[in-house]
Amino acid sequence: MEKRQYLLTVDGGTTNTRAALWTTEGELLDRCGTSVGVRDTAMDGGDNSRLCQAVRDCLIGLVERGGIGWDQVKAILASGMITSNVGLTEIPHLPAPAGVDELARGAVMVDLPQVAPVPIHFIPGVKNTGAAIDLDNFESMDMMRGEEVEAIALIQRCRTGRPMLLVLPGSHSKFVGVNAQGQITGCLTSITGELLSVITKDTILADAVERSFVDEEHYNREMMLLGYETAQRVGLGRACFSGRVMKLFAGQDHFAVANYLLGCVLENDLKALQGSQAIHPGADTHVVIAGKQPLSRAIYDLLENSGCFAHVEEVRLEAGTSLSGQGCLLVARSMGLIP
């Protein structure tokens, strides 16, 4: 009797690495995570031994807990910063446009016996263009490693046949353009999350928000929009300082000020969408937002309020959902690794 086959996926980030065990039919069976990422390789002067060991430990743990043998592992697929020069092996970005088939053709199989006894298929990231970049066109350039497989999973879930704009909020929020054929046409990155973290914890505003971010329970749409409108009118620096005024003289609590500051920072993202040369979403673009709460809800409310787009959708992901893993499985299917 033929043994059942499985897939392993690896999502390598800057500070964390996650792995998962799947059936070839796409059922998620188990997950593993470690607080080792490509930052550790950079800190170790380019030595990726710690990263190799961390990925190895995750994969071995999944195989052992699953009660399977390595001969039952059909393939290992890896995406994210693990494909960078400080990852496990460097894979060049693919120039846009790139869909699931292009990612499949661009994947590179590498034998890394120090990590796993099964070859690893590394999925490339995507960059906006293959053209030369200079001071005249640098703002039109952007790139991603890892978000491309998340995008592929969202495209499959939400595709309508219209051009799409995928919004993946985070410390580095990604706005991903998608054409009617379901191909990634480019992306735009902002450091919104990092800006908000610095403002919240390391500026004079820290006391006004008690060094805490907005949580889902205390999200306040009206205060967020007030922050957006104020920043739109007077700029980010003045708008943020006015949050301190709000706390000292207008009787607002730290929850209100935190929501206000969220809106102040998000104003930058809408301005980027409207003025950047990196992507060019039209008014009829279908916008899909998927990410952590309440940041995802705040972006949804901001785009709905702005009226810039006719179709805005927020996808609430179930707990335990792995968009990166689902995207890897779609690439595996295009590669012919699974039915």
Half-sphere exposure of 224 toward its Cβ, with a 13 Å CA cutoff? 23
Q: Which domains does the chain have, with CATH numbers?
A: 6-134+321-335 (3.30.420.300), 159-308 (3.30.420.310)
Q: What percent of the chain stands above pLDDT 70?
A: 100
> Could you report the per-residue pLDDT of 107-148, keeping only the tens digit for each?
999 999 999 999 999 999 999 999 999 999 999 999 999 999
What distance in Å separates the CA atoms of residue 199 and residue 208, rounded to the nearest whole number?
11
DSSP 108-157: EEE--TTT-SS-EEEPP-EES-SS---TTTGGG--EESSHHHHHHHHHHH
Q: What average pLDDT does the segment 163-178 reach?
A: 95
- Whether residue 1 is predicted with pLDDT greater than 80 in this model: the reply is no
Q: What average pLDDT does the segment 264-287 reach?
A: 95
Sign, Cα dihedral of 19, 21, 25, 28: negative
Dihedral-angle region of residue 129 (phi above 0 means left; psi in -120 to 50 means alpha; beta otherwise):
beta
> Could you report the per-residue pLDDT of 34-49, keeping only the tens digit for each?
999 999 999 999 999 9
Q: Is the peptide bond before 92 cis (omega within 30 degrees of 0)?
A: no
> Could you report the per-residue pLDDT of 58-102, keeping only the tens digit for each?
999 999 999 999 999 999 999 999 999 999 999 999 999 999 999
Q: What average pLDDT does the segment 186-213 reach?
A: 96
Mean pLDDT of the chain: 96
* 120-122 β-sheet, strand order: 28-34, 17-23, 6-12, 73-80, 120-122, 108-110
Binned at pLDDT 50, 70 and 90, residue 170 comes out as: confident
